[in-house]
Structure 1
């Protein structure tokens, strides 16, 4: 079956969405299907990858979003979809591409929308009317055959509207690439040369990720007498303001780590990871830290407490609360954190996620039709 997937807000330095698109595409291909991913870019292009065919169509930059582009031209995209003749349509954008759900329904093509963000959470964060999120969520559910949410927290904004076509499918983590065995003593010596505790914040430097909270947590932790340093892996429009905020503190900004091996080494070498985003619907970076044997302190407001479970701490959005949780995690050694964190991550594998998404498409166990 040809599974055509559409996604906006994807760049080479994207975080969890890019990883999910790659892993699911590779899983679909391994299951005998034909995944085709359509994304926006500066110029039109097409290439074959291990995750299937990737078609780039021209899309304008979104101002002040650090390089993200969107597909806005409906007519060319409609022509492309007609040429591709999908057996299934999967969309990872619930705003500008919502019309494609009706396009698929009019042609009898089963469609899935993947809810990678919580509109209720984002609107609450930015002070937008809650009723608008409800209206948009109802419209999304009406446009697509199935809505996939990755956690119960993400699912809740649809369930409370009594939407009948919602399913929950957790994402996964690469348990081979991310492992406690990736610990790097040379990296440890470089980032924490005085034997300090090593904290890591991994994620895009965007307001909804609250990277400022990680810097504030480090400052509060050091004021309490705990020698610690912070490594920030990621980039985005908040970087300059964060660098100013971190002046005088032992914070190193590593930028986007394109090589998975470098990220895996960093996560396995850290003592604790921080994931303070209050509207995360899953949190792949936090799960990658767990797979690396590193506990995570997360915001209690989003879905991350559900993912992290006993392998970390969920706290209120307050630097002092983060510092207290960090002290507790850094002081505990029984049972050892690497074993606890790794066991929690092993509940989430990509093979299970792929099969869950195929079930949402009505394709689990179904023979793949050659094209």
Structure 2
């Protein structure tokens, strides 16, 4: 098949979507498919990524709140790009403007909406849940739900990477919802990378000895990630048991997070570790990975922790919750600092236990299953 991904969330500067796209460009051709990714860019150009793999950039405005990203503003140009590619399957990885543009395209390809974002959890539920119930919030955002239901009718399937989002979409009347958990680079993330000396070094950076518990966190420094809540919970838990936190990330909330850390010597903030093998060793050497965001569509760091044999402490909703299944970690009440503190204390008092890697899906297996699902669509006349 020829699969074209219209990906508004791609940025060459990094992020989870870029990691996923790079994996797709590498693995898709290995599985016998041609992969083309259409992304916002500065100019119209084609970037070859090996046999059967290309990125096509379309001139697009920058997103005002984060200029690392762009957005598709020229529907005619997008349609022309799709006409030129003549795909068998078109993926769209945004619930905003681009799927509506693709829905209006007159081509014969089958269409898949991949939910790489959960705006209700990231914004509406987070902002209003302290005073309103979720059903009340959903009623207030009925126009958005109507938009999603329209897309469900316009697309052949709606792909979710976690069961919580899939369940909410089905309950909201969105058609064609299927769950395809994302995959992990299991050749990189493994319990075999556990390093007692690295663990001791990280704890020493937190002013603690090897008898303390080491928590690791990683992700964008953005409001929906709730890092100040995580910092406050770890600080509160450390009153009962020695525990250190190392957080890896960058983003516009750095100042707020540094303010939350204050002068606490047991909590350290670092730039992202971009060496994948080094980061895999950090995850495998941690006692647990802690996460604050209930709006994750998958939570890649949670999956990488599972593949590393490391326990997780995650909110009880959103994509992160899936990684605590089958005894692989602790969950706490999403958005509740006191519940997170209790979960950290309970984990530290129980003591880390070796975790298996059952249920972890490799990135190759993910694409095999997803593309097999696409294969049930059939192909257009070009491929035939």
Q: TM-score w.r.t. structure 2 length?
A: 0.86
Q: Is the 8 A contact 1:287 1:308 kept in 2?
A: no
* C-alpha distance after superposition, 1:13-40 (max 9, x if no partner): 4433222222233332111110011122
Q: Report Cα offsets for 1:213-237 as digits up to 9, x if no partner.
A: 221121111122x222211112111
- 1:199 aligned residue: 215
Is residue 100–residue 151 contact of structure 2 (8 Å, CA) maintained in 1? no
Kindly state the Cα deviation for residue 44 of structure 1 after the two structures are TM-superposed.
4.2
Report the 3-state secondary structure (helix = DSSP H, G, I; strand = E; otherwise coil) of the residue aligned with 1:339: coil
For 1:250-329, what aligned pairs fall within 5 Å after superposition?
250-309=266-325, 310-316=327-333, 317-329=335-347
Unaligned runs of 5+ in 1: none
Q: How many residues align?
A: 363
Q: Counterpart in 2 of 1:241?
A: 256
What is the SS of the residue equivalent to 1:252? strand
CA contact (8 A) 2:25 2:54 kept: no
The answer on whether the counterparts of 2:323 and 2:329 sit within 8 Å (CA) in structure 1 is no
Give secondary structure in 1 for the equivalent of 2:11: coil
d(CA) in 1 for partners of 2:43, 2:270: 29
Q: Equivalent residue for 1:350?
A: 363
After superposition, where does 1:1-371 map in structure 2 within 5 Å? 1-49=1-49, 52-65=53-66, 67-104=68-105, 106-122=106-122, 123-127=124-128, 129-193=140-204, 194-195=208-209, 196-224=212-240, 226-249=241-264, 250-309=266-325, 310-316=327-333, 317-333=335-351, 337-340=353-356, 342-345=357-360, 348-362=361-375
**What SS does the aligned partner of 2:375 have?**
coil
CA root-mean-square deviation: 2.5
In the TM superposition, residue 209 of structure 1 has moved relative to its aligned partner by: 1.6
Specify whether residues 364 and 28 from structure 1 end up closer, same or farther in structure 2 by C-alpha distance, changes over 3 A only.
Answer: farther
Task: Name the residue aligned to 2:133.
Answer: none
Compute the displacement of 1:257 (Å). Answer: 2.4
Conserved? CA contact 1:124–1:130, under 8 Å: no
Tell me by how many angstroms 1:298 deviates. 0.6
Q: Which runs of 5 or more structure 2 residues have no equivalent in the other structure?
A: 129-136
**Are the equivalent residues in 2 in contact too, given 1:46–1:54 (CA < 8 A)?**
yes
Aligned CA distance change for structure 1 residues 285 and 370 (closer, same or farther; 3 Å): same
Secondary structure at the aligned position of 2:98 is classed as: coil
In the TM superposition, residue 242 of structure 1 has moved relative to its aligned partner by 0.5
Deviation at 1:265, TM superposition (A): 1.6
